[in-house]
Structure 1
Amino acid sequence: MTTSADQPLDTSLDASLPIPMDPPVQVSDQPLDDQHFATGLPADPPRRRIRSVSRGLLSLVRPGQWPKNLLVVPLALFDAQGAPRGLLAGTAWAVVLFTLASSLVYVLNDLYDRHRDRLHPTKRHRPIASGQVGVPTAVAYGALLALVLTGAALYGPVTDWWPIAVYLCLNTAYSRGLKHVPLLDVFVVAAGFALRAIQGYLAGGTAIHSWMLVSVFSLCLVFILGKRRHEMTVGGVSHRPALRGYSVQFLDHLIALCAGVTVITFLLNLQESVGAPYTDLAILGSTPFALFAMARYLQLLHVQGGGGEPTRILLRDRAMVVTSLLWALLLGGTLLATHH
């Protein structure tokens, strides 16, 4: 006779019993404290929540991209025909205006793209996509930026600010659909940098140099096309619909074309803006720097697989930084000698 202890244990699962499953993780448009409340998890202390949202709001306007305004707007300072009174103040104010405008554009772009960003391996960590900043908070933040920008434009020392208005219109159309149209997506972004340069000339009261604008536009195309190439080689075309209209070979041809246009038009601008007898010195001295800087960028793009962050290349690559400093010394000395 066997006892119950001698009987084998029945380890089979009863199919009639429900199997507990973990609930799916969902990311909503609520801020983090609301999500904690909805899921029953303890909310963070108020101070920690405030710090988290504050960091998210700062990250939302992408301060790492602000140097773009510093690299383009002050081009008006290189005018060799004489600096009018208020040039520095006007140019600095133009930098402030475009920093506010670009920050507003970043907020709007992240609001529009929050659902798509959640599916991207990197962009899903952006403040709105990750839930660090709620949609109502982001909308209020964008409204505040728009209000500050309007006040700065209307009551600041810069009276002619139509490039900023065009920039905002273009980027609104870009966020709403143009970003998905091949070629138009890169040309709209490059136009934003040309508008920065125009605003710098208008703010400083200096004459607009057409060759400089062409050079800025083509140089920005080089960087943007290089960024698209990097995106294709690293992540494919699934995360950005416009990439389906490109191929790596096609982008290589466009980058080479725009690189040549950039160098030539910049040298033509020197011929137009640098007065005699230092014109030849400026052109001959700038040629090796311009060619080396472009060659270095292409090396980083094609050989080392860079190009994803053009601003980082310009500010952190040692060869590029040293080249830029020596080139600036040459041009600065030439322009100083021209004035005196």
Structure 2
Amino acid sequence: MESADISVLKHALDWRTAAHAVTLVTVVRTWGSAPRPPGALLAIRGDGVVAGSVSGGCVEDDLIDRIRRGERAMAPRLIRYGVSREEAARFGLPCGGTLELVEEPLTDARWIARLFDCTARGELVRRELRMVDGAVSLRAGERNDALHFDGNTLAVTFGPRWRLLLIGAGQLSMCVAGIARALDFEVLVCDPREEFRALLDASVARWLPGMPDDVVLDIGVDAHTAIVALTHDPKLDDMALMEALRSDAFYVGALGSRRNSQKRRERLQEFDLSARQTARLHGPVGLHIGGQTPAEIAVSIVAEIVAVKNGIPLLQKKREEQHDATAESSLDGDTSCSSATSSDTSATRSSPSSQARVCPIA
């Protein structure tokens, strides 16, 4: 599975190769509530077939109608939608939102092939479009690049801005990798067990040989890196987590139940990690969505990573922790019964309905 931007550009390249006229449209600015962020990309073929989106509503319909009527831009130009409340309502922009788009004819698509060569190697590419004549240039991009538009030049960076290191190469890891790749993460997989390498899809993730803790140190972890341990083997997971929790990674998680996660934190503190460092560990990993299959669990894991990346508070996790604390408190002093969960596996989270009071039979 590939990122949305790369998918749009692949369609555009295929259409141009087949001698179709193609128009590219990029969101450059938004005001108010806008359905798509700056950088969102749309490709429109001469007959109105589209790939991608810039609004998810009537804006696409209007752009397609213009193309079909032959109103193609001969050079890059700026288009505004939703300037007035009436126009915003007409084009389905919520809350009076406003969009500014750059529309450009794709006359020479060779730059797309060069861009693909770089992004396939995990490199970031900065594309610069000169508005006056449509000239395109490519250069190396950086993770902190933001879209730039000043009326004269449009600069957009393509490629994986974020990295995800997965410890373990099992079926769950491959599901996580596929979803993360579609979200423009560069996905790295480390597992010293060579027999698991056959599961890896090289178009989705890159295999890193060696012991996980060494790999964490070698890849240059930064604030754009997430690390998730999925082997369920403390010999592999714990050593990697020990280094990950000392790093600048924005997210560190590990598979396991609440009980096992607490035991893991206790083990990690024996390796001289502080309580603050072990508190960074997201365990059990993922949001509670009742996931049972590898694909469902992968959705919950990636959803939590994206939430942390986007600065969204994990209120669900806080409510679960408060519930656990309340449940434990209610059992204090009751020696005849104990709290038990329905499962100690990583596939599910304990919920109020899955906890039972287990009493001995007289």
Same structural fold, with TM-score higher than 0.5 when normalized by the shorter chain: no
Which one has a larger percent helix, Structure 1 or Structure 2? 1
Higher RCO structure (Cα 8 Å, ≥6 apart)? 1
The structure number with the bigger radius of gyration is: 1
TM-score normalised per structure 1: 0.24
Which one has a larger percent strand, Structure 1 or Structure 2? 2
TM-score normalised per structure 2: 0.23
